Chain A
Amino acid sequence: MHIVVCIKQVPDSAQIRVHPVTNTIMRQGVPTIINPYDLFALEEALRLRDKFGGEVTVLTMGPPTAVESLRKALTFGADRAVLLTDRYFAGSDTLATSFALSMALKKIGAEFGDPAIIFTGKQTIDGDTAQVGPGIAKRLDRNQLTYVSKIVETDLVNRTITVERRAEGGVQVLQSRFPVLITMLEATNEMRRGSVENALKAARAEVVTWNAEAVGIEDLTQCGLRGSPTIVKKVFAPGGRTDEVQLVDNEGNPEARANALIDAIFARSPDVEKDLFDQAAHHF
């Protein structure tokens, strides 16, 4: 069984700073990581391969430095890595990204075997749109299983997969035929630690590198900034909270304490006081 996992290299959001003067995001020096959701997808793919045999290919679109995350994925145990990189892809939104990735996936299918399953993470932590997975499925005309929290059963004879999907208000159990695209939720598994052999293999591996032309993209207006209808109007840092915590005296009876608390709130926000009084007056 051939499985492809789409991963993305993202800035470690825990370590991003906002420039105190210009208020822009300072990406310089911020370490990058594999999008955490993608790791759950990758581990799930590796488990299926270990159980049923086959190969796991990881695919990423990004700048040349994204090769680091591919190598890391190889260290975890992936068999092959493909980097899709081209300056024409710069500035891609989710539409342009899913287009480029779907073209690369077609080529992967042609060269290394059609994948029964394509995995992506639920969403990326630097975009949070959750659109790329479904976008790829649509373009490749595949079934899609999104927000998957568990793979229940894989039936290679009938070529079906059964999963649990987190939906609003409950868990759905869904079954799909292959080929399918699955987007994985967080905390579904724990990423393994690759063996010495995996690590050595990864350090040596040649990463397959394709540009737009290599994956057969002729219409460059569908790529990068030009192919991206999304417009980012403004990026801003939410103002920090400046209010200090105030402790109300922990003495006296509960009523006295409650009164002290209310006094403190009213003192801080006279509007609240006025509002409450108005409402109360209204009732009488």
Chain B
Amino acid sequence: MIDEKFDAIVVGAGPSGNAAALVMAREGLNVLQIERGEYSGSKNVQGAILYADALEQIIPDFREDAPLERHVIEQRMWTMDDRSHTGMHYRSDDFNEDKPNRYTILRAQFDKWFSAKVREAGALLLCETTVTELVRDLKGKVIGVQTDRQGAPIMADIVVLAEGVNGLVGQRSGLREEVSPDSVALAVKEMHFLPREVVEARFNLKGNEGVVIEAMGTITKGMTGTGFLYTNEESISVGIGCIVSDMTESEVTPYELLDAFKKHPSIRPLLEGSECKEYAAHLIPEGGYNAIPKLHGDGWLVVGDAGQFVNAVHREGSNLAMTTGRLAAETVIELHRKREEMSEANLKRYLARLEDTFVMKDLKKYKGIPALLHGNKGNFFGTYPQLISQAMQTWFRVDGVDKKSKEKAIMKNFRETRTLRGMLGDAFKLARAWR
């Protein structure tokens, strides 16, 4: 046995693990962080939105040196059929503020930066090391981890599992069930290089301004999912994701989906002339509140994607990851200071902390949404987007038909495709799930 015991071991160096390790190390705890990848961020998909607030709570002056790409000043929400999109765009000069609210980032670079902060705070980081198992004492309390490197287990008072969506360590150690295929999405994403000037001209941007497009509709071929496109400094991230069980049913490969999305007449011109630099696929937990596994026990806590902390409706993940990482760290620090045991009963305070924040409040608010969308995927991701497109087309095409008749035609189309009752029912269910 390595004759040294850490105050805490953090498994994983994504946003949640980095947040947890940083906060604990900064308070003087002896922290060991273990990451399977070559460095923090090496296993993470590129191109993402960073929500400033969650990071600000941990590193208030992060804007000084974090590798940020663009701050988002415009959000485009699209519903698409095969040849059109209907959009709602919100662009505001208010987003050009001193401390912008959202940024596009490249995860590999961002995570590396975050990880450097963690080490500066005094945590020890082992990379290229995979935690294979949790080690327990005779009473079943988690007292350390075993890794894939030769040698004895490494001991700690508490193990924080920040291992991401698959949660293999937790699963293998019997802390949680295997993630169910209908509560995770598989997202594929590409980074397309484009000169800075082209990005700016194409999206009507100045300096470091950025745009985000989020899209749903026939692009997912009837499956539950969304497509997205973000502008980075000198590149564009484009991707699409669908619930895994839908993909297995439909036998459409993720690559085909992305390819079709990129060729969509509304997307293609945005990517024209670009060079694909990177391709990545990753899972996103989208089961919401009802899919959250057990989060604490004797000697262990779960944070980030491993705890299914993703708000799929708003596409927020890293902020929940950082917040849960911070709250777990604060719980551990409190117990450590008071010299209290890291027991299941004491660690319950982590849950209380979670309840108090947007994390649990939002997940609770939307807890009905995943099942609703998934159960009605044909309508929400096929029929309605098509109906909307057809309505727009009828409405905007000037062809001698009077507007009243157009209105009637649109309503008729809606009613015939999806009965009035069905539509009202969906609207009602959606409203209820949203509440």
Query: Is the beta-carbon distance between A193 and B149 smaller than 8 angstroms?
Result: yes
One of B77-85, B125-133, B254-262, B292-300 at the interface: B125-133
Query: Is the beta-carbon distance between A29 and B193 smaller than 8 angstroms?
Result: no
A68 to B275, CA, bound (A): 30
A196-B2, A199-B126, A204-B124 given; A17·B277 CB < 8 A: yes
A196-B2, A199-B129, A203-B125 given; A29·B108 CB < 8 A: yes
B392 within 8 A of A: no
B248 within 8 A of A: no
Residues of A within 8 A of B124 (CB): 200, 203-204
Query: Is the beta-carbon distance between A203 and B126 smaller than 8 angstroms?
Result: yes
- How many Å from the CB of B126 to the closest CB on chain A? 5
A68 to B151, CA, bound (A): 23
Chain B interface residues (CB < 8 Å from chain A): 2, 32, 38-39, 42, 106, 108-109, 124-126, 128-129, 147, 149-152, 154, 193, 195, 275, 277
Query: Is the beta-carbon distance between A20 and B149 smaller than 8 angstroms?
Result: no
Interface residues of A in 179-219 (CB under 8 A from B): 193-200, 203-204
A29, closest chain B residue (CB): B109
Beyond A68-B39, A196-B150, A197-B151, 4 additional contacts (C-beta under 8 Å) are: A193-B149, A196-B129, A200-B154, A203-B125
Residues of A within 8 A of B106 (CB): 29
A204, closest chain B residue (CB): B124
Residues of B within 8 A of A31 (CB): 38, 42
A204 to B39, CA, bound (A): 16
Residues of A within 8 A of B39 (CB): 68
Residues of B within 8 A of A20 (CB): 193, 275
A9 within 8 A of B: no
A3-25 vs B, CB cutoff 8 Å, 1 = contact: the mask equals 00000000000000100110000
A75 within 8 A of B: yes
Query: Is the beta-carbon distance between B150 and A195 smaller than 8 angstroms?
Result: yes
6 tightest Cβ-Cβ pairs between the two chains A and B: A196-B151, A195-B150, A195-B151, A196-B149, A203-B124, A199-B126
Residue from B2, B149, B195 having most chain A Cβ neighbours under 10 A: B149
Residues of A within 8 A of B195 (CB): 21
- How many Å from the CB of B391 to the closest CB on chain A? 41
A67-81 vs B, CB cutoff 8 Å, 1 = contact: the mask equals 010000001000000
Residues of B within 8 A of A195 (CB): 149-151
A197 to B149, CA, bound (A): 9
Query: Is the beta-carbon distance between B128 and A75 smaller than 8 angstroms?
Result: yes
Query: Of the candidates B2, B109, B193, B275, which one forms a contact with A200 in the assembled complex, judged by CB atoms under 8 Å apart?
Result: B2
B124, closest chain A residue (CB): A203
- How many Å from the CB of A71 to the closest CB on chain B? 9
